[in-house]
Every structure is written in structure tokens, then in C-alpha cells.
Amino acid sequence: MVDMAGFQGLIDALGGITLDIRKDVPMGGGTSPILGWIRAGDAVHLDGLHALWFARSREGSSDFERMQRQKCVMTAVLHQADPVTVVAKFDALAAAGGNILTTDMPRSDIGRLTDLALKARTVPISSISFVPPLIFPGNPKYDVLRATVKEHLDKAEDLDREAARAAGQKSAPASAAPASGATGTGGAGASGSGTGGSGTGSAKAPTTPSAPGPTGTAQPTASASPGPEVDNLESVCRVASAT
């Protein structure tokens, strides 16, 4: 269970996040007035409040677009929380982290989860969006869901095997060639590709309101391949590259 105010505090503890934003996003709307805007632009730096509004705003956009913005924010947190930042701001991050998440995970699993998190920072990350035209909520094709997940997992495992072979060949002594074909061990790969961008500039800071609260007939094709339009984060936003 994630606490939205704690999420805002975590972003602030990191020093904010930087995104390339492709579309203006209102702060407010619905039954409330629009009190400000997060303007489109390259290398837009967002503090915790504005990052939360960027991820949660519903005005003038679809649920699918909002999902993409949320993925952008989470990806930015992962890639921009570098070890130097984490060490320098450890106390603030620890305090914010204690307020953001409630879990029933036993303490004995924390070490393994930490190891996994450290490994995740060193590999490219991809994601699957189950949205039109791949999947239509009114009539989801479960065979397409399963086939799409299997396709992506197969690609990830292929990369694991390639990395293992490369690691085995690199570590094998030149004078100790095997008698019947080389075999490799170890290594790990990752599926998909990360998001990245470039550019400079900033957006004009909007008026600051309070934080938000949590508040088809066409059929998809039978293909399991999602196509670029299904998970096209860059049509909404992307993580700004380091300068």
C-alpha cells in the first residue's frame, strides 16, 4: 500500500526528478479549478508536489495516458537515484521511505530485495502496457495477454543466456580450451530497452496547489507483438538524460 504524501516526500528527498515532458499537464480539474500547469519542455525539473500531480492528474487525458506518466515518474526515480545521491541523502530518504509504503513482507526478505534492487539499476528495463490496440478492457483477449508476457520473458531469458555465454568465454583461460565445445556460466541479462532523452531548458513553475488525492467496440488483432504505439512512453514523456 503506497501513501501519496510519502511518495511526494521521497521525490523531495531525492532532490526531485527531471523529465522531458511532451504535453502540458493541469494541476487540478474535474470538480476543482485548475490552479496551475506543468508545462511541456525538455529537462523539466519536478519537485515532489509537481511530480505527484504529473503522475496523478486526470484532467484532459485518458487513464492510459496517466498510466504512461506514472511509469515515467517511476523510471525517473529508479535511474536518477544514483548511489552518490542515496548516500548523501540517506537520512532523508530513510525517513521518507518509512512513510511511503506499508507491507507484510518479513524482515528476512529485505536483504534479497535489496540485492535485486541494486541489480535492477545496472540493467535496461522494459515494460508492457496492456492498453489499446493490444488489449481492449471491455473484451480482453487473455490468450493475447499470456502470449505477450511469454514473448517478453523469452526475450529476457535469451539475453540472460547470451550474457552467460559471453561471461564464460571471457573468463576461460586462453590455454585451457575445452575438448568438446565451450560452455559458459554465470552472468545475467535484462529485457527491453530503457528510456532516455536529451535537451536543455525548463518549464515555467506553476502555481502550487495542494497535493491530489488518489482518487470500446473495436477488437485487437491476434498478434502477440504489442507494436510501438502500445508502450510509447515518449509520446507523453521520457526520462531526461544526464548532462
Q: Judge contact between 75 and 97, C-beta under 8 A.
A: no
Rounded Cα–Cα distance for residues 50 and 26 (Å): 10
Tell me the per-residue pLDDT of 20-49, one tens digit each, with 9 for 90 and over.
999 999 998 888 889 899 999 999 999 999
Q: Judge contact between 47 and 211, C-beta under 8 A.
A: no
Helix (H, G, I), strand (E, B) or coil at 27: strand
Indicate left, alpha or beta for 187 from its phi (over 0: left) and psi (-120 to 50: alpha).
left
Over range 79-84, report the average pLDDT. 71
Q: Judge contact between 85 and 15, C-beta under 8 A.
A: yes
Please, what is the average pLDDT of the chain? 72
The percentage of residues in the chain with a pLDDT greater than 90, rounded to a whole number, is 20
Tell me the per-residue pLDDT of 52-69, one tens digit each, with 9 for 90 and over.
999 999 888 888 888 889
The residue count for the chain: 243
Other CB atoms within a 10 A radius of the CB of residue 18 amount to: 20
* Residue type at position 240: A
Domain boundaries, the chain: 4-141+190-239
Indicate left, alpha or beta for 167 from its phi (over 0: left) and psi (-120 to 50: alpha).
alpha
Please report, for residues 34, 71, 190, 236, the alpha-carbon distance to residue 155 in angstroms, rounded to integers and kept in the order given. 44, 21, 9, 26
